[in-house]
Structure 1
């Protein structure tokens, strides 16, 4: 593609699950198709696996059905199989640009394109300091990331943590926050809402303890945590231990924003770390008061302290409980924070963010990927030979 014509692009991600990365890819793909570009979405899951965020039907969907390994040599062998399958798919598609999301998929995509001239844009969606610590992954990151045509981070703080010599390759593009397709109810029950995968990262154990500490002071208030994940048994046990089964609910996943936004008087983010925290932006767009952990990264760049929300130190149950109590006890504060949050969220308007993504992709398509000045895999290396073999 040269001079603003049609672009043939491929997105690569693990699966079409319920995460924020999947939602963003769905949005970018739709915007690219609306511009007349050709879009393919490549995943490693199986054809019969559920799709949580719908992809524009005009996009081609390729599901490679190559699962990840369970660890050790199994994970290594699965990684090689995935990279080979991806390489075949990318070679067949003759794409102008390839865009991958999430660290391990970024590494596999850069491996799969060794020796090719297709520009690859990798998107870091989480805290770089919390990425895989295994020496093999660290070596891969160190050597492969300089080969990317571009690296996208969600925040300025995330950009400063990228371990890459050429920072000019790093572009900050926050997640888009779409306008609501419905009008939230004005009158809502006194209810705190949290949304996210039930994992240690999301800190719902901290939230349950914080709510339990103030529940007696606010007998009319309840807590609903939407999401699913491996921490469910432990979180349910915590709720039982606190004797709050009638006050704290874990109803599972919801793909309908209307369900959790309409259920909320205020929104809580209790994460230990984040990449951006889409749900904070969505809550702000809906005019909800937000109390959030000031974790790396995202919340501190989205929320103006004491203006459009309250920020508390991560993993501090006492301060989280205090902040929740402040808002729960003051309708004036709840309304003021919600009104200011709605104004602040316009900075992340979907049209603005998607235009930035499409501009970056078009720019990459119009140039050959820069040659890395850092260490890289030689085309004759053993790993390169493994990827090339059929």
Structure 2
């Protein structure tokens, strides 16, 4: 039996969880089962150089309808067995192409967040949310990251038989093989670290509010933010207003955050919403526990086992839990290791291969 021809598509390969997951899949898929091709609206991003050399990359170019017209032409030219899309609203637009595509091409999408929470926050959110149900009912399969996400997508009328729960893959062995890594910090312990784009959804303003409380009781603590984005100036101004600017480090984009995770005392997740934050898995794989808001879409954090969860948006609870975590018992290395085994890359990729090569 020949390998399944799969056309993967995503807007770009900028830094983000969905992009990292896609790179992991393209790297580890068995070429005897799947022949991948990648189509990008914009062929840029920090992960572009990580695409395996045997994966052809097509830059669609253009914006709006032009990019999707070019994607449709590529589908007709390639006639793949599967079109596989990532990112929630991009998935909606790709699925709208299905009636125009050759018969027999399966459309599979992977959701990266809960649509009812994510879509309304975007420009023209009401329209995006109106388009979501009819478009996603066309999918041959929808990959969700958690049971909560499965329930939400089913609630908009998608056939539950088409919903598949596959967790995010994590190359645990590669992460552990790199340890111990050099310590990148100039500050002594305790160190708190967070990573992600400096955008409102990541909730760094909430984290700074919580850290101000932490710093008042632990003046030796420092907070390290790995990422860049449009909120940088506002966050620096907020840190100054809170009188913690001398304890907060803005490191900008960091190509390899693993040393920062490994040598931190805690990883803190303060997003206003998340699908299933892969970055917390990476922190756990380096042996660092996580303090996180509790997201309705699902979280790898098991309270008291590999970290701690607090109610979403509750900065007082976040500060209190950080202080307790710094001074109290920590999760054991065995508990941290066991909690991420379900995400081992070979196991997860095998599930994707079964889906991509199925009927």
Q: TM-score, normalised by structure 1?
A: 0.83
1:108 to 74, 90, 93: 93
* Residues 76-225 of structure 1 aligned to structure 2 (within 5 Å): 78=64, 80-116=65-101, 117=103, 118-133=105-120, 134-162=125-153, 163-179=156-172, 180=175, 181-184=177-180, 189-225=189-225
Deviation of the 1:197 alpha carbon: 1.3
Partner deviation per Cα, 1:29-51 (whole Å, 9 max, x = no partner): 12225435321111111x4x344
Deviation of the 1:66 alpha carbon: 1.8
State the partner residue of 2:282: 282
State the partner residue of 1:373: none
Deviation of the 1:303 alpha carbon: 2.2
Distance 2:158 2:126 in 1: 20
Partner deviation per Cα, 1:159-183 (whole Å, 9 max, x = no partner): 1111224111000111112121411
Partner deviation per Cα, 1:314-352 (whole Å, 9 max, x = no partner): 10011000000001123xx13x35542222111211111
Contact 1:33 1:58 in 2 (8 A): no
* Residues 259-274 of structure 1 aligned to structure 2 (within 5 Å): 259-274=259-274
Distance 1:194 1:360 in 2: 34
SS at match of 1:223: strand
Distance 1:167 1:260 in 2: 40
Deviation of the 1:243 alpha carbon: 2.3
2:345 to 344, 350, 366: 350
SS at match of 2:214: helix
Partner deviation per Cα, 1:192-212 (whole Å, 9 max, x = no partner): 111111111111111111111
Distance 1:220 1:141 in 2: 48
* Residues 303-382 of structure 1 aligned to structure 2 (within 5 Å): 303-330=301-328, 333-334=329-330, 336=331, 339-363=334-358, 367=359
Contact 2:262 2:287 in 1 (8 A): no
Contact 1:184 1:286 in 2 (8 A): no
Contact 1:43 1:64 in 2 (8 A): yes
Higher RCO (Cα < 8 Å, 6 or more apart)? 1
Structure 2: gaps of 5 or more residues? none
State the partner residue of 1:60: 56
Partner deviation per Cα, 1:354-387 (whole Å, 9 max, x = no partner): 1111111111xxx3xxxxxxxxxxxxxxxxxxxx
Relative to structure 1, is the Cα distance of residues 297 and 165 closer, same or farther in structure 2, using a 3 angstrom cutoff? closer
Q: TM-score, normalised by structure 2?
A: 0.90
2:22 to 25, 30, 33: 25
Partner deviation per Cα, 1:234-285 (whole Å, 9 max, x = no partner): 1111111122222111111112133322341211111111000001111111
Contact 1:289 1:337 in 2 (8 A): no
Partner deviation per Cα, 1:18-63 (whole Å, 9 max, x = no partner): 1111111111112225435321111111x4x344251111000011
Structure 1: gaps of 5 or more residues? 68-77, 368-390
Distance 2:342 2:317 in 1: 28
Q: How many pairs align?
A: 343
SS at match of 1:41: strand
Larger Rg: 1
Distance 1:338 1:109 in 2: 42
Mean Cα displacement is larger for which, 165-174 or 259-268?
A: 259-268
Instruction: Confirm whether residue 38 of structure 1 aligns to residue 29 of structure 2.
Output: no
**Stretches of 4+ moved more than 4 A in 1?**
185-188
RMSD: 1.9
SS at match of 2:224: strand
Distance 2:46 2:254 in 1: 13
Distance 1:265 1:296 in 2: 26
SS at match of 2:197: coil
State the partner residue of 1:237: 237
